[in-house]
């Protein structure tokens, strides 16, 4: 019988939720109860002489008021911190949801458009039999440009997704992997690089985009990547090249999606790199334009 009563009591507690306001009220009641009980005992039980009791009552009242105010202050602080953390979690969940939705949309559009492009390419094979080769070649070139744009768009959408799983990786290994696409005549020098917690595949892509940007747009022959400590004592990864300096007039636009100074490029390279770095909780910036230095601020 007693066991059933205990089970029944436990079941009755299920589903009960206490709001932050409820927690605040409970703490207030608890603090007041302690003060009233303590004061009552001091006044009626532990003190024998009335005058002495009144004097102690006054002193005790003052000290307990201080306690109550301390309880109130701590409670308000706790509730404030709880609201901040709750808001942060809600924002992170919303960002993650929107990133997933953007990625899904980009992949869906890419799949659908590529289906139509495949039909166009098939028609090109038929047209080549009856029309001039150059016309068909022009059509194919435009189709391939669209495919490249689609691939870049999907990559850009995926780049902004929050990095949830990371491994501790030597930054040197990231540089080695990113340098695979670099021509032999281009020197990539790395110095004193740290270990970082990252998504190695995505970070490699970001570094690769920065390096290729220096080679393609800056005609760089040497790229130096090294660790530095900024004025705040935080770690930075500096990526410097000896190529043509970036013009001051476009300095603020280099990370814009689709911005390029060449008609043959999509302008997504640095934008993708920036989004990948941000997804790690880091910051990519253009620290200097002469010489060109990109900086990754590690959190």
Q: What is the pLDDT of residues 208-225, one digit of tens each?
A: 999 999 998 889 999 999
| Number of CB atoms found within 10 A of residue 62's CB | 9
Question: Judging by beta carbons within 10 Å of its beta carbon (0-12, 13-18, 19+), is residue 20 exposed, middle or buried?
Answer: middle
Domain ranges of the chain: 17-89, 101-159, 167-297
Q: Which of 105, 272, 127, 279 is nearest to 205 (CA)?
A: 272
* Cα-based distances in Å from 47 to 23, 39, 53, 62: 35, 11, 5, 17
| pLDDT surpasses 70 at 41 | no
| pLDDT surpasses 90 at 42 | no
Greater model confidence, 106 or 55 = 106
The mean pLDDT of 183-193, rounded to a whole number, is: 93
CATH topology of domain 167-297: Heat Shock Protein 90 (3.30.565)
pTM, 2 dp: 0.54
- In this predicted model, what pLDDT tens digit does every residue of 74-107 receive, in sequence order? 666 667 667 777 777 777 777 666 666 666 656 6
Q: Which of 207, 145, 154, 151 is nearest to 182 (CA)?
A: 207
Which tokens go with 229? 């400590």
* pLDDT score, position 21: 52
The mean pLDDT of 195-216, rounded to a whole number, is: 91
Cα–Cα distance for residue pair 251/292, rounded to 1 Å: 11
The mean pLDDT of 49-72, rounded to a whole number, is: 54
Cα–Cα distance for residue pair 147/117, rounded to 1 Å: 8
Q: Is the peptide bond before 291 cis (omega within 30 degrees of 0)?
A: yes
The mean pLDDT of 27-39, rounded to a whole number, is: 57
| pLDDT surpasses 60 at 201 | yes
* pLDDT score, position 283: 93
* pLDDT score, position 48: 46
């Amino acid at each position: 019988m007693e066991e059933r009563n205990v089970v029944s009591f436990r079941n009755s507690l299920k589903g009960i939720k206490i709001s932050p306001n409820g927690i605040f009220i409970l703490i207030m009641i608890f603090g007041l109860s302690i003060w009233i009980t303590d004061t009552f005992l001091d006044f009626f039980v532990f003190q024998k002489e009335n005058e002495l009791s009144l004097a102690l009552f006054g002193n005790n009242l003052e000290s307990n008021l201080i306690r109550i105010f301390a309880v109130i202050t701590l409670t308000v602080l706790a509730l404030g911190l709880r609201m901040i953390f709750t808001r942060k979690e809600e924002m992170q969940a919303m960002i993650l949801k929107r990133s997933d939705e953007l990625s899904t949309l980009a992949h869906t559009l890419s799949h659908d458009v590529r289906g139509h492009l495949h039909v166009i390419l098939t028609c090109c094979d038929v047209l080549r039999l009856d029309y001039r080769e150059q016309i068909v070649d022009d059509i194919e070139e435009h189709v391939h440009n669209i495919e490249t744009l689609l691939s870049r768009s999907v990559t850009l959408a995926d780049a902004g997704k929050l990095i949830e799983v990371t491994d501790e990786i030597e930054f040197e290994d990231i540089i080695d992997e990113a340098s695979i696409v670099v021509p032999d005549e281009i020197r990539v020098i790395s110095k004193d690089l740290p270990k970082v917690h990252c998504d190695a595949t995505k970070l490699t892509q970001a570094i690769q985009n920065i390096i290729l940007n220096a080679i393609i747009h800056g005609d760089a022959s040497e790229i130096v990547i090294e660790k530095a400590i900024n004025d705040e004592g935080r770690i930075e990864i500096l990526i410097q090249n000896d190529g043509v300096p970036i013009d001051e007039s476009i300095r603020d636009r280099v990370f814009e999606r689709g911005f390029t100074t060449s008609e043959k490029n999509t302008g997504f390279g640095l934008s993708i790199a920036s989004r990948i770095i941000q997804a790690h909780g880091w910051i990519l910036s253009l620290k200097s334009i002469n010489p060109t230095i990109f900086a990754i601020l590690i959190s």
